[in-house]
Amino acid sequence: MKRIVLLPLTLLIVFGAFAGELANGSQLYQKHCASCHGVDRAGTVAPPLLPLFLRKYSEKKLIYIIKNGLPATQMPPFPQLSEKEIKSIISYIRKPAKIEWSKEKILSSIQLDSSGEKKLPVKNIKNIVAVVERGHQKVWIMEGTKILDKFVFKNVHGGLKFSPSGERIYIPSRDGWIGRYDIDRGKFYGKVRACVYLRNISLDRRGKYILASCWLPKSIVVLDAESFKPVKVIKQKGLISAIYELYSKDEAVFSFRDKPFIGFMNTKNFSIKYKKIKEPYEDFFIDPFENYIVGTSRKGTLLTVYQINNGKEIFSYSIKGMPHLASATFWYKNGKFYFATPHIGKPYVTIWQMYDWKFIRKVNIKGNGFFVRTHPTTPYLWTDNGKDKIVLIDKNSYGVKTLETQKGKRVIHTEFSGDGNLAYVSLYNRDGALLIYDSITLKLIKKIPASIPIGKYNIINKSRKYAPVLLGREVFMLKCWGCHHQTQEAFAPSFRWIVNHRDKNIIISHIMNPEATYKQLGYERNAMPKLNLSKEELDAVLSYMMEFKDAENN
């Protein structure tokens, strides 16, 4: 009986002491921390202080940060606080909190920049590259090897999005802020806080709305892309993996990390249809022609292909190490389409054939990679392996070679200029650099000092609508180049002439069955071979051809 009585008394004493510590921590927090981190810990000028943000920090590390501050940030030291007081604060900020973020809060967070405009010397908007320099919390606007502008954006991490025209760049931060830079006006336009913890952003295909997937609170927030005003907040019951727009219809697609559903959002009226799947997709991408979703489930040990039209999973393959599908890259060779993906924590990149879905092979890169990229101009997949060399995988033989950078620096993330002539590579160190290579000769053209540079973003390589265009260029080189030129007449009319003088349906008919259409086009005999293109090859080459349509004929 004594033990039965003493145990509750002991627990009451412990819980009472803990409650007292939380109460003291709350008072200390409001006195020393709330002015920057928010009275509700949701963050204002400083990041949120909630369990989701703090789980990577040990108590020892948090004590050190509070006691000594963080250099090169606005976090000051608090040497006057005792270790006991600091531990009380830590207990309090690690306590779960119910976070609300209303339309009113979104509206009140809007900050527009009234400063003047400037003219940037942009030659080709499609070659603009936005570079995230995380160490200095800046974004660079570049073309070629020149930095045209820089601006500060706190807690920037990547995931930048371009408007359909390429003139606007939208910048998210994990703590919910979304900013916009206007290239045509050479200025930072302003920012808005969509939520407390943001997963990623997308735009609808017209560029009218910003779509933000949020973890705190769990929701999809729709903002007017011009005014930043909230249009709709749609509560969700799970943690969204990511949301991506479709270019072929007014729809966006998202999945959950913790629930077996895919959401299809109508981007005109924001209604959502949920489709049940076998297991949650923790990461996914949409294929270049928007017919399939490729996802990873079972904590990254299963790759699955979901066919959108029939709502069924049509292919799955077990593999170790979570595929980093958000960084997958696509290419075409010998009549087939492929994608490659790195695997988190594994020393290989995997190669997969698309549409007649199959696993091709693992390619050993001798280290844990995170990104893989390619472009029609280069014969290689450019990837990283956590070390100081760029790893190049031949797209035909899958042979591997490396490109020296700077000893002891960590290579991460390659991106290309829109035309593919330049490759931008990060040395991911506080005293790092942005390296710019000739993508064909592999010669280093320029090295620009940078502090923790990470993502590079270009509208051609990062906007979904251009994925089939890039693949179409490769189909053109294999199937059409012998007779056609893009802009000049060769043995046959140029692509520019064709798309500006012929109806799209006639173009398709002539490609697929030239014997049936040559008379309709005014030819006395047929000189066009029957190409026997697959549906994907046809879609790709048509997308590429339409890039040469003059504006007045669109």
Query: Tokens 């830079």 belong to which residue?
Result: 181
Q: What are the tokens at 172?
A: 């998210």
Is it the case that residue 360 has pLDDT exceeding 50?
yes
Mapping DSSP to helix (H, G, I), strand (E, B) and coil, where does residue 443 land? coil
Q: Which fold has domain 2-93?
A: Cytochrome Bc1 Complex; Chain D, domain 2 (1.10.760)
- By CB neighbour count within 10 A (0-12 exposed, 13-18 middle, 19+ buried), where does 52 fall? middle
Give which of 421, 417, 419 is closest to 440, Cα–Cα.
421
Confidence band for 6, pLDDT divided at 50, 70 and 90: very low
Q: Which amino acid is at 444?
A: L
Cα–Cα dist 141/169, whole Å:
10
Alpha-carbon separation of residue 318 from 154, 308, 380 (angstroms): 40, 21, 26
Cα–Cα dist 52/14, whole Å:
25
Q: What is the mean pLDDT of residues 64-83?
A: 83
Alpha-carbon separation of residue 159 from 20, 104, 125 (angstroms): 42, 26, 19
In the prediction, which pLDDT does 43 show? 77
Q: What is the mean pLDDT of residues 279-305?
A: 94
In the prediction, which pLDDT does 71 show? 65
Confidence band for 88, pLDDT divided at 50, 70 and 90: confident
Mapping DSSP to helix (H, G, I), strand (E, B) and coil, where does residue 496 land? helix
Give which of 247, 243, 248 is closest to 222, Cα–Cα.
243
Strand ranges of the sheet holding 312-318, from the earlier edge strand across to the other edge: 283-286, 292-297, 302-307, 312-318
Kindly report the backbone phi and psi dihedral angles of residue 124, in degrees, each rounded to the nearest multiple of 5, phi listed first. Answer: -145, 110
Contact, 225 vs 211, CB < 8 A?
no
Q: What is the mean pLDDT of residues 344-353?
A: 95
Query: Running DSSP on this structure, what letter comes out for residue 409?
Result: P
Q: What is the mean pLDDT of residues 102-111?
A: 96
Q: Which amino acid is at 137?
A: Q
Identical topology for domains 2-93 and 469-553: yes
Confidence band for 22, pLDDT divided at 50, 70 and 90: low
In the prediction, which pLDDT does 111 show? 97
**DSSP track, 286-329:** E-TTSSEEEEEETTTTEEEEEETTTTEEEEEEE-SS-B-GGG-E
The continuous run of DSSP H or E covering 539 comes out as helix 535-546
In the prediction, which pLDDT does 2 show? 44
What burial letters (b/e) apply to 185-217, b meaning 16+ CB within 10 Å?
ebbbbbbbbbbbbbbbbbbbbebbbbbbbbbbb
Alpha-carbon separation of residue 219 from 97, 105, 232 (angstroms): 17, 15, 10
In the prediction, which pLDDT does 400 show? 98
Domain spans of the chain, in order of start: 2-93, 99-248, 469-553
Cα–Cα dist 464/477, whole Å:
22
Confidence band for 211, pLDDT divided at 50, 70 and 90: very high
- Examine residue 217 and say whether the peptide bond preceding it is cis (omega within 30 degrees of 0): yes
Q: How many CB atoms lie within 10 A of CB 551?
A: 5
Is it the case that residue 19 has pLDDT exceeding 60?
no
Q: At what angle do helices 83-93 and 2-32 cross, to 10 degrees?
A: 100
Percent of the chain having pLDDT more than 70? 94
Q: What is the mean pLDDT of residues 428-450?
A: 97
Query: Tokens 């080709």 belong to which residue?
Result: 124
The continuous run of DSSP H or E covering 198 comes out as strand 197-203
Confidence band for 52, pLDDT divided at 50, 70 and 90: confident
Cα–Cα dist 463/369, whole Å:
23
Q: What is the mean pLDDT of residues 319-348?
A: 94
Is it the case that residue 17 has pLDDT exceeding 60?
no
In the prediction, which pLDDT does 72 show? 52
Give which of 132, 128, 175 is closest to 151, Cα–Cα.
132
In the prediction, which pLDDT does 63 show? 87
Class of the CATH domain delimited by 99-248: mainly beta
Cα–Cα dist 476/468, whole Å:
12
Is it the case that residue 421 has pLDDT exceeding 80?
yes
In the prediction, which pLDDT does 73 show? 63
Contact, 375 vs 470, CB < 8 A?
yes
Q: What is the mean pLDDT of residues 493-503?
A: 94
Give which of 25, 26, 47 is closest to 36, Cα–Cα.
47
Kindly report the backbone phi and psi dihedral angles of residue 500, in degrees, each rounded to the nearest multiple of 5, phi listed first. Answer: -95, -5
Taking the CA atoms of residue 138, residue 139, residue 145 and residue 148 in that order, the dihedral angle to the nearest 10 degrees is -100
Within 8 A by CB and 6+ apart from 225, the residues are 163, 168, 170, 180, 203, 207, 208, 209, 210
Q: What are the tokens at 508?
A: 């398709």
Contact, 256 vs 276, CB < 8 A?
no
As a whole number of Å, the end-to-end CA separation of the chain is: 87
- Indicate the range of 80-94, 124-138, 420-434, 469-483 predicted with least confidence: 80-94
Query: Tokens 């140029």 belong to which residue?
Result: 494
Q: What are the tokens at 389?
A: 């060399």
Cα–Cα dist 491/411, whole Å:
45
More confident residue, 292 or 57: 292
Q: What are the tokens at 234?
A: 């749609």
Q: What is the mean pLDDT of residues 495-503?
A: 95
**DSSP track, 41-60:** SS-SSS---SHHHHTTS-HH
Q: Which amino acid is at 246?
A: L
Query: Running DSSP on this structure, what letter comes out for residue 530?
Result: P
Cα–Cα dist 290/308, whole Å:
8
Percent of the chain having pLDDT more than 90? 74
Average pLDDT, the chain: 92
- By CB neighbour count within 10 A (0-12 exposed, 13-18 middle, 19+ buried), where does 231 fall? middle
The verdict on domain 469-553 having CATH code 3.20.190.10 is no
In the prediction, which pLDDT does 107 show? 97
